[in-house]
Chains A and B, each alone.
Chain A
């Protein structure tokens, strides 16, 4: 066959192919489009679902954030409330505190008499309102020789702290005359188990009184290497009472336990001035003047004067005190004679700081118009400081008093004292 025959044939076949193939192709394309459309529609649905989910999640997330914020705020409120409640004890105006001390002791007298000799408890109550008012009171509970418990109000004062330099206090106070009875007698403070001769109850040093007192501290305006201070106490009180002996013809003692009566209608006036020229040294002077009278008798003069000193140098602590009471004579009295009570002591204590031991020695002398109460005493002591406020004290007293009186007996003391 020649090429002229092929050409129409090829052309015809092409035309036929076009005629048949075009519709087939169109049919296939239409099917693809439908599938694609369906796919797109499916994707759109999925997208809508995702959007819906996301929207829901966003809403939930917003809700959760709010919840979290609310919870945080609630926790913060709780924290503030807790902190506030916790700080209440720091900020409240009225405060109550219980302090005090206790002591138990063992004594061996010469001639021999061993005994557990002391059980004493002295609670001290402090009630304060801000830094303006303070009520302070000490009770003394002590077992007596017969087993009875003695209860006494050692002191009870209401103090008004007027400003930085003045405090006015009223009530029953420890005698401001001297230093031992006012500040050093508590068992955990006193470095020996006993008071110095003449500084016990109804001896040479006044113990307590009822009245009104002005006291405080002031800086001394002097150009010294260290700031110098002074402290002062001025008081007016009911004063002590005179006690007659059994025969009723001699004044045996001046009772200064602090009474709320004033039968002789006389007041006692006095005070103490302490100077601290350097922080480690204090020098004090005390004096009191007044009149006393026995029942239905005239007044007679009563005077007290004394001085005290305290010095610290490194581990050495030295102190001393002198006190004297004098009741004038009164010829018209049933007890006409003048009476005097005089006592002094000097004490040195040395702490061994590499240990907990402290050595103490004290000399004291008590003189009176009544020879049977006089006493001269040397005391040697060794203290073991478990804590600064808890110690065991061992002491031996060499006593020289009136013959056949207990004041003449040497004594061994062991005392366990605790201040709280």
Chain B
């Protein structure tokens, strides 16, 4: 096929693509353009970033620095805008250092431990608690080897498991969780996985 034919085919395909993709994607964007979600973001981050490289620690960069980085990764890895927003939300929620300490029972967000686990923890720890990402430790093993106070401290302040590709972010990456919520989720984990 001569080059001029390639050109014609390419331009025709481009036009067809543009006609199909632009309206369809604009419609889809209107329907599904949501703010980033921390829980979805942790899953997308775990699923997509290690397609090319080791998982980087969310604490490596400030919130505003993550924005162009995630934008670059969206273009490079072929992520959708929603995937990129979710990953950004997760990274920005996971790079903070909690100001408050202490693990006494306090106010809660009104969520059960199970709800919190399924929203915040499940992406990395998995529904069975055995770890959804390589290197994430089995919760059963941790529950049997660490005291409740130690575990609560890890949940509150974050923790780097030896050999894990990433550190668990403080409060699982959800800064809105209260000390009461953390206790609730630990109670759920103990009931479910011990």
Contact = CB atoms under 8 A, between A and B. Distances in A.
Interface residues of B, number: 56
13 contacts: A89-B62, A90-B64, A99-B72, A127-B68, A131-B71, A136-B72, A161-B74, A165-B21, A217-B78, A291-B3, A315-B134, A355-B163, A389-B60
Nearest to A293: B3
A166 interface: yes
A356 B163 contact: yes
B6 A163 contact: no
A218 interface: yes
Interface string A153-194: 000000101111111010000000000001110101100000
A290 interface: yes
A232 interface: yes
Contact of B52 (A189, A234, A352): A189
Interface stretch (B22-30, B96-104, B148-156, B179-187): B22-30
Contacts of B81: 131, 161, 163-165
B175 interface: no
Nearest to B47: A279
A282 B164 contact: no
A189 B14 CA distance: 33
Interface stretch (A10-18, A105-113, A266-274): A266-274
Interface in B27-69: 28-29, 32-33, 47-48, 50-57, 60, 62-65, 67-69
A299 B2 CA distance: 8
Contacts of B164: 353
A315 B6 CA distance: 44
Interface in B2-23: 2-3, 6-7, 9-10, 13-14, 17, 21-22
Contacts of B162: 354
A167 B56 CA distance: 25
Nearest to B49: A388
Contacts of B113: none
Interface of B: 1-3, 6-7, 9-10, 13-14, 17, 21-22, 25-26, 28-29, 32-33, 47-48, 50-57, 60, 62-65, 67-69, 71-72, 74-84, 134-135, 162-166
A165 B47 contact: no
B64 A95 contact: yes
Which of B32, B48, B81 has the most C-beta atoms of chain A within 10 angstroms of its own C-beta? B81
Nearest to A126: B68
B25 A164 contact: yes
B3 A267 contact: yes
A217 B68 contact: no
Nearest to B10: A269
A219 B81 CA distance: 11
Given A124-B72, A229-B80, 9 more contacts: A92-B64, A95-B65, A95-B67, A136-B72, A164-B28, A167-B74, A234-B14, A236-B10, A388-B165
Interface of A: 89-90, 92, 95-97, 99, 124, 126-128, 131, 134, 136, 159, 161-167, 169, 182-184, 186, 188-189, 214-219, 229, 231-234, 236, 266-267, 269, 274, 279-280, 282, 289-291, 299, 301, 310, 312, 314-315, 317, 351-356, 385, 387-389, 419
Nearest to B60: A389
A219 B28 CA distance: 11
B57 to A, nearest CB: 7
A214 B16 CA distance: 13
Nearest to B166: A388
A219 B74 CA distance: 14
Contacts of A299: 2-3
